[in-house]
C-alpha cells in the first residue's frame, strides 16, 4: 500500500466516524427537542396576552371621578391668554364679570366654542371693594337695587346660565344680599355656585333653603402663582373628586393657570377623571 493510499483510507475512515458522530448527535438532539418545544409554549402564550393588553378596550382608563372647573375673572382680557382658554379641549365653565370691555364678546365666543358661561358677580368685600361700580352688590343696598343689578348682569350676558361670586367676603355672608340674588336666579330658573371666599359664607345654604340648584367650590387652584403649586392643587382636586364622586375647582384667567391646565387636563383624563360643566354637578 502506497503512502498515498494509506492517507486516502485514513481520510475515508475519519469521514465515516464523523458521519456516525453526526447521526448520534442528531438523535440526542431529537430526544431533547420535545422539552425545548414545551418550554417555548408558555413564552408564546405570554406574547398573546401582551397583544390583548394593547387592544383599545383594555387601555381605556377606569373611571375615577368627575371634575368641575370654573375659570373666574373673564371680561377684562381679549388676548392670547383668553384665546388659549377658548382652545382647551374639555367641558369647562367660564365665569365672566359683567361691565368690562370684553364681557359680552368673550361670553359669546365661549358659548360658540361649547364652553359653559356663568356670571361672575362682584359682591362686597370686608376690606375694600374696587371696580365694577355699576354691578357690585353692597350690603347697604335696598332689595330693589340688588335685584336690578343682578338682572342687568344677565341682560348684558344673556348666554350665562348661572352665577358665582367674585370676592364677596362680606356680601356672601349677608342674608339680605344672598336672598335677593336668589329671588332673581329662581325667577330665571338658573343656579348659583358658592365660590367660598370666606368661611362665613351663607351662599350655598341660602340657595338650598330657597330651592335653587347650587354647589360649592372645593379647591382654589392658583392662589399662588407657581406651576408646581397649581399642579399640586389640581392633584388635590382630583383626589377630592375620587373620594366624593365629583369636585369643583376654581382657577383664574392667568397665563400660569392656562399653562398648567394645558398639561394637566389630558394627564387627569388619562388617569380616568372626567371634566364636566358645573351645571351637571349641582344639588
- Residue 194 beta carbon to Zn ion: minimum distance, rounded to whole angstroms: 13
Distance between CA atoms of residues 115 and 125, nearest Å: 29
Query: Whose grid coordinates read 369647562?
Result: 92
Q: Which three cell numbers stand for residue 274?
A: 372626567
Residue 66 or 217 having the CB closest to Zn ion: 217
Instruction: Return the half-sphere exposure (C-beta side, CA atoms, 13 A cut-off) of residue 211.
Output: 4
Distance between CA atoms of residues 134 and 119, nearest Å: 14
Residue 174 or 222 having the CB closest to Zn ion: 222
Other Cβ atoms within 10 Å of 219 Cβ, number: 20
Residue 72 or 242 having the CB closest to Zn ion: 72
Residue 40 or 134 having the CB closest to Zn ion: 134
Of 209, 153, 141, nearest to 184 by C-alpha is: 153
Kind and range of the H or E element at 101?
none
- Residue 219 beta carbon to Zn ion: minimum distance, rounded to whole angstroms: 15
- Residue 56 beta carbon to Zn ion: minimum distance, rounded to whole angstroms: 41
Return the SS3 of 226: coil
- Residue 73 beta carbon to Zn ion: minimum distance, rounded to whole angstroms: 5
Residue 168 or 213 having the CB closest to Zn ion: 168
- Residue 126 beta carbon to Zn ion: minimum distance, rounded to whole angstroms: 15
- The contact set with Zn ion (CB under 5 A) reads 72-73, 166
Helix axes 203-210, 175-187, angle to 10 degrees: 50
- Residue 46 beta carbon to Zn ion: minimum distance, rounded to whole angstroms: 56
Radius of gyration of the chain (CA): 35
Residue 73 or 116 having the CB closest to Zn ion: 73
Amino acid at each position: 500500500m502506497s503512502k498515498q493510499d494509506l492517507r486516502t483510507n485514513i481520510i475515508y475512515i475519519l469521514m465515516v466516524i464523523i458521519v456516525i458522530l453526526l447521526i448520534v448527535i442528531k438523535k440526542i438532539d431529537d430526544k431533547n427537542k420535545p422539552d425545548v418545544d414545551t418550554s417555548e409554549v408558555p413564552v408564546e402564550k405570554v406574547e398573546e396576552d401582551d397583544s390583548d393588553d394593547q387592544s383599545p378596550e383594555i387601555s381605556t382608563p377606569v373611571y375615577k371621578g368627575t371634575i368641575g372647573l370654573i375659570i373666574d375673572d373673564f371680561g377684562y382680557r381679549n388676548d392670547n391668554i383668553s384665546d388659549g382658554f377658548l382652545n382647551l379641549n374639555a367641558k369647562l365653565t367660564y365665569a365672566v364679570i359683567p361691565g368690562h370691555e370684553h364681557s359680552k364678546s368673550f361670553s359669546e365666543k365661549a358659548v360658540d366654542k361649547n364652553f359653559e358661561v356663568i356670571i361672575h358677580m362682584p359682591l362686597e368685600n370686608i376690606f375694600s371693594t374696587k371696580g365694577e361700580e355699576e354691578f357690585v352688590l353692597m350690603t347697604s343696598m335696598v332689595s330693589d337695587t340688588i335685584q336690578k343689578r343682578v338682572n342687568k348682569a344677565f341682560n348684558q350676558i344673556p348666554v350665562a346660565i348661572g352665577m358665582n361670586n367674585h370676592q364677596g367676603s362680606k356680601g356672601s355672608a349677608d342674608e339680605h344680599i344672598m336672598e335677593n340674588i336668589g329671588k332673581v336666579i329662581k325667577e330665571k330658573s338658573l343656579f348659583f355656585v358658592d365660590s367660598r371666599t370666606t368661611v362665613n359664607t351663607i351662599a350655598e345654604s341660602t340657595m338650598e333653603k330657597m330651592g335653587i340648584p347650587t354647589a360649592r367650590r372645593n379647591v382654589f387652584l392658583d392662589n399662588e402663582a407657581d406651576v408646581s403649586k397649581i399642579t399640586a392643587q389640581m392633584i388635590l382636586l382630583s383626589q377630592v373628586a375620587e373620594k366624593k364622586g365629583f369636585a369643583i375647582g376654581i382657577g383664574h384667567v392667568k397665563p400660569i393657570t392656562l399653562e398648567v391646565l394645558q398639561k394637566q387636563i389630558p394627564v387627569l383624563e388619562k388617569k380616568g377623571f372626567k371634566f364636566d360643566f358645573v351645571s351637571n354637578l349641582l344639588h
